Amino acid sequence: MTPVSSSQHRRAGQPPPQLSSRARAILAAVVQSYIERGEPISSLWLTRHSRFGVSSATLRNKMAELEELGYVHQPHASAGRIPTDRGYRSYVDLLLEARRPARSSRNVEARLRRASAVGNLLHNVPHELSRASHHLSFAMAPSGEGSAFKQINFVPLDRQRVLVVVVSASEHVSHKVISVSEALRPVDLTQAANYLNQEFAGLPLYEVRRAIVEQLENERTLCNVLRARALQLARNTFENLSETSLFVQGTSLLLDNATDGYDSSSMSSLSNLFEMIEEKDRLVRLLNGYIDDPGMIIIIGTEHRTENLQNLSLIASTYFDGNQIGCVGIIGPRRMRYDRSIAAVEGVSRTVSRLLGTGGTWAN
C-alpha cells in the first residue's frame, strides 16, 4: 500500500459548521478576491466581478451568514468582509479537493537534477521554492540520528587543522573543523576517508558512531596505523557534530512583503520566526511536530501549536529519501496565493523523492 496522505492540523474544539455548495463558492470568491486585492470585499464588488447570477442584496445576506458562522469578519462598520482563519481553511480544503497532482516545471526539475548530481540537492530546493512562491522556503533533511552515512572527506587547512565534510544519504552536508595532533599529508587524509567510506557507507549515523568507538577500543584494530588514524579522525568528527538539517532561503522576502500580505499584528510573528531561523534547532523541532504522516501539511494562523507564529501560514510536503521522510515547504502570510504555493511545494517534493530514488511514492 502506497503511504500517501494529506493532513491538515486544526486547533482543538468544535468542528466548523457545514456549508452548502453555494456558500462555499461565495466564501471562496471572497477569500480569492481578498488575497488578490488586499482590501475588504463588499457584496457590491462581488456582484460586479463574479458570476453567481444573484443580486447584491442576496450576496450581502449570504456574507452576513458566513460572518455569523465565523468564516469572515467585518473590520469596521460599512466595510466589506475579510476571511478569518476558518475561512482560509475552508478555501484551502476546497483547493485540495479539486487539485490535480502537481509536478515541477521542466526548468526547475533540470536545475534540481544538476544540483543532485553534485550533492547539493537540498541546498538548492529552498531557492527554487522561493523563486516559485515568493515566500520564505525551506528544506529539511531527515533527522541526523536516523540518516544514513554516505561519505566523508578531509581537507587540510594547515598543519594542525582539518576541514571535515560529512554527506548523508539525503544529501545533507555537515562541515566541521577538527584539530590533529600530528601533521597529516593529503594522501594520509585521502586514505583515511577511503577507508571510512568503504567501511561505513549506508549505515545510520548512530551506528557509525558506535562502531567507531568499539573499533578504537579494540587493541588489535590499533595495530593498523591507517585504520587507527582514520577512526581517530572520525571520532573527532562525530563528537558534537551539528545535526541541524534545515536549509532556508528567502528571509528577505518576509520583509519585502511586509506591507503586502501582512498586517501590523504579524510583525511580532515575523520577529519570532527570524529568531527561530537563527536557532534552526527550534524550527526543526516545530516542523517535526507537524509531520504525523507522509503527505501535505498546511497550517493556517491559529492552527499553529505555538502562539508566536499564529499570524503566519505554513505549507509543506514530505519526501522519502529511501530510509526516512524529510519535508520541503514555505512560510508566509495568511493572505498568500495558496493555489500557487501548494502546487510549488507539492511539485518540488515529488521531484526530490524522485531524485533520491524512490519514484515519488511518498510525496503527496
Per-residue model confidence as pLDDT tens digits over 207-221: 888 888 888 877 555
Per-residue model confidence as pLDDT tens digits over 233-260: 888 887 766 555 788 888 776 655 554 5
In terms of Cα–Cα distance, which of 352, 286, 298, 346 is closest to 325? 352
Return the residue matching grid coordinates 478569518: 84
Query: Please, what are the domains in the chain?
Result: 8-98 (1.10.10.10), 106-143+245-355 (3.30.450.40), 149-238 (3.30.390)
Q: What is the spatial distance between Cα 7 and Cα 82, in angstroms, rounded to a whole number?
A: 25
Per-residue model confidence as pLDDT tens digits over 123-151: 889 999 998 888 999 998 876 555 678 88
Per-residue model confidence as pLDDT tens digits over 269-292: 777 787 777 767 678 878 888 887
Return mean pLDDT, the chain: 81
Per-residue model confidence as pLDDT tens digits over 67-110: 999 999 998 877 899 999 999 999 999 999 988 877 778 888 88
Per-residue model confidence as pLDDT tens digits over 299-335: 999 999 888 888 899 999 999 877 778 899 999 989 9
44-48, 195-199, 203-207: the lowest-pLDDT one: 203-207
Helix (H, G, I), strand (E, B) or coil at 138: strand
As a three-state string, the secondary structure of 61-79 is HHHHHHHHCCCEECCCCCC
Q: What is the spatial distance between Cα 159 and Cα 173, in angstroms, rounded to a whole number?
A: 24
Q: What is the spatial distance between Cα 326 and Cα 339, in angstroms, rounded to a whole number?
A: 22
**Would you state the pLDDT for residue 362?**
40
**Would you state the pLDDT for residue 291?**
83
Helix intervals (H) in the chain: 21-37, 43-49, 56-68, 85-98, 106-117, 121-133, 186-200, 205-217, 219-222, 225-238, 251-256, 266-278, 280-290, 338-355
